[in-house]
Amino acid sequence: MRAGRGAVAAGGLARHVPVMLPDVLEALAPRGGQTIVDGTFGGGGYTRALLESANCKVIGIDRDPEAIRAGASLVRQFAPRLSLVEGRFGEMEQLLRSRGVTAVDAVVLDIGVSSLQLNDAARGFSFQGAGPLDMRMSRSGASAAEIVNSMAEADLVQVISQLGEERRARAIARAIASARAQRPIETTAELARIVTGAVGHQPGGAGSRIHPATRTFQAIRILVNDELGELARALVAGEALLKPGGRLVVVSFHSLEDRIVKRFIAERAGQSGQPSRHRPEPATARAPSLRMAGRSVRRPRAHEIETNPRARSARLRVAERTEAPAWPGELAPGELSALGVPDIGAVWGGPG
């Protein structure tokens, strides 16, 4: 499962139970013979529930090789109905087509970082335990340490402000630049200490449960893994793979993620209002490829928040595929901006 956010955490908190599981199952309504994609396999919480609720097949995708290895026992338990694929969920269309799968009945995405990653200090996602400043979900590409120690101070301000929604971004970037001038910043504990010194202990005000470094860690993690770009590409891939009547179900945990999902569904459902300057109205209007299913957004029930406070920020959105053709799938930088993905490509080369 992906990790929720909302209590003391580094870049998002691990949650130990699937968030909004009854709502997700209700939205997916799995039936025998269906093929469902769990694009964010993680610890397999949704996947297990789906396989136990119906005689369906599930294809689980995760970019983290450790998640794939950890899921081997679940594959054996539910053979032959479960298969796991290592790769980015933004590439799910290519990943599935290479395995002969061209259409599926449902896609579920649980956005964020997984408890497997957060609970392992050696992965460098969390400042709750000292570890190397890494944060790479796929174990490849530039690490958080490389970004923190090499990115220009002005670019750090942009990243921390836009991807972390951190009001003190300028002070934090200044403190990082000052610290790394003395020696490289190499651990999560070092970075957390620098951020805390720059913003004070309670940036959220008296009674805040958010650690001062949470938003900065979130911003750097999102950049390292291109999480928002991957989400936008995953939505496009899901649209292309779904059969008519198939469901796209997305659980997100902060406003950046939810904004992208909301805009994508509204656009594909023909409810986005005026055309974006990034994506002018085509000469021939496209037929809606999605329709909203049920309420526009669902939130956790009060009793779930009481038993699992980390669910409080979760948002669930559901769309259903129409008979119309999928929209063109390649997203240009301007189209990503129109969906709410901050235009930060110029400050860094790409994800790991």
Per-10-residue mean pLDDT, the chain, length 352: 36 56 96 98 94 98 92 97 97 97 97 64 61 85 92 95 95 98 94 92 54 91 91 96 98 93 94 58 76 92 86 94 89 71 59 44
CB 56 within 8 A of CB 34: yes
Q: Is the peptide bond before 80 cis (omega within 30 degrees of 0)?
A: yes
Residue in the block written with tokens 């720059």: 198
User: For 115-132, how does the pLDDT look when each residue is reduced to its tens digit (9 = 90+)?
Assistant: 665 565 555 556 666 789
Residue in the block written with tokens 């309504």: 29
Count of domains observed in the chain = 2
pLDDT value of position 308: 79
pLDDT value of position 114: 61
pLDDT value of position 131: 87
Same domain, 190 and 320: no
User: For 239-292, how does the pLDDT look when each residue is reduced to its tens digit (9 = 90+)?
Assistant: 999 999 999 999 999 899 999 999 999 999 998 655 555 555 554 578 999 999
pLDDT value of position 190: 94
The residue range of the domain holding 94 is 21-115+227-347
Give kind and range of the element (H or E) at residue 158: helix 153-164
Give kind and range of the element (H or E) at residue 42: none
pLDDT value of position 344: 64
Q: Please give the biggest Cα pair distance in the chain.
A: 61
Here the tokens at position 197 are 């010194």
Domain end (from 225, 252, 285): 225
Same domain, 215 and 277: no
Domain end (from 174, 203, 225): 225
Provide the edge-to-edge strand list for the sheet that holds 35-38: 82-86, 57-62, 35-38, 104-110, 242-252, 315-321, 290-292
Same domain, 76 and 28: yes
Same domain, 146 and 211: yes
Domain end (from 203, 225, 247): 225
- Is residue 1 one of the residues assigned to a domain? no
- Is residue 131 one of the residues assigned to a domain? no
Reported in sequence order, the residue ranges of the chain that DSSP labels E, i.e. its strands, are 35-38, 57-62, 82-86, 104-110, 242-252, 290-292, 315-321
pLDDT value of position 220: 92
The DSSP code for 59 is E
- Is residue 329 one of the residues assigned to a domain? yes
Same domain, 274 and 170: no
